[in-house]
């Protein structure tokens, strides 16, 4: 017999990992939701309360890191907040057209064009584009790593 709550939890956690690749989707929140659903369905027994807390805190660290990295990247790049938002929207939309390359190209190109439009010289605009893109990629890799860790911690409960 299938444990539908386990299937739902695993599905949400895998979607959380996939969502971590996309800047506009809350990957870590999906993973937190997945583990919470299963924790609730078992009467708060599996995973253990300690492991559940570690998994949820890991998810919150991923969320905070995502916003902090984006902010620091845009700040260090001297890009405007509106430029960072425009880059996030462009990379999200281009992801569906060209996959992960769309995130990189969408972010870099959007920041470059917008900063040129705002009057920056080409060197400053290019520097803003590179810094913002690197910060975005760093936050994506961190989110993916942390959501993978959440899934592994969850799965370890069934091995021991």
- Count of the separate structural domains present in the chain: 1
Stretch 44-65: mean pLDDT? 95
Among 4-18, 25-39, 99-113, 143-157, which stretch is predicted with the lowest mean pLDDT? 99-113
- Which domain range does residue 36 map to? 4-156
pTM above 0.85, yes or no: no
Distance between CA 53 and CA 135 in Å, rounded?
28
CA angle, residues 137, 89, 16, in degrees to nearest 5: 60
């Amino acid at each position: 017999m299938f444990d539908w709550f386990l299937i739902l939890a695993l599905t949400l956690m895998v979607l959380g990992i996939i969502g971590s690749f996309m800047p506009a989707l809350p990957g870590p929140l999906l993973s937190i939701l997945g583990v919470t659903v299963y924790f609730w369905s078992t009467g708060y027994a599996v995973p253990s309360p300690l492991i559940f807390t570690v998994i949820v805190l890991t998810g919150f660290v991923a969320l905070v890191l995502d916003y902090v990295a984006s902010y620091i990247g845009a700040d260090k790049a001297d890009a405007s907040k509106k430029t960072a938002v425009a880059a996030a929207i462009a990379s999200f939309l281009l992801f569906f057209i060209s996959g992960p390359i769309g995130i990189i190209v969408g972010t870099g190109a959007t920041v470059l064009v917008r900063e040129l439009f705002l009057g920056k010289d080409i060197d400053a605009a290019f520097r803003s584009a590179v810094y913002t893109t690197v910060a975005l990629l760093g936050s994506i890799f961190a989110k993916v790593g942390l959501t993978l860790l959440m899934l592994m911690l969850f799965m370890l409960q069934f091995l021991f």
